[in-house]
C-alpha cells in the first residue's frame, strides 16, 4: 500500500493533522487526537487505512 501525503496541502501543524486525517483515518467512527502520539498510533496500525 502506498499513501501520498502532499506537503503542498499544509503549511502548519493544524493543516498537517487535517491532511493525516484525510489520508489515514477514512471511515473511522471516532476522532483521533491532534498530536504526535495519536499520529504514531495511526502509523502503528489497527484502525483507519492500516486496519490489520
Instruction: For the beta carbon of residue 3, count every other beta carbon within 10 angstroms.
Output: 9
Q: DSSP label at 27?
A: T
Going from N- to C-terminal start, the domains of the chain cover: 8-24+32-47
pLDDT tens across 5-52, in order?
999 999 999 999 999 888 888 777 888 889 999 888 888 876 666 665
At 17 the pLDDT is 92
Predicted local confidence at residue 12, as pLDDT: 96
Write out the E strands in 1-52.
none
Amino acid at each position: 500500500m502506498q499513501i501520498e501525503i502532499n506537503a503542498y496541502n499544509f503549511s502548519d501543524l493544524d493543516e498537517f493533522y487535517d491532511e493525516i486525517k484525510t489520508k489515514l483515518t477514512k471511515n473511522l467512527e471516532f476522532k483521533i487526537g491532534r498530536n504526535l502520539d495519536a499520529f504514531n498510533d495511526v502509523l502503528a496500525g489497527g484502525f483507519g487505512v492500516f486496519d490489520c
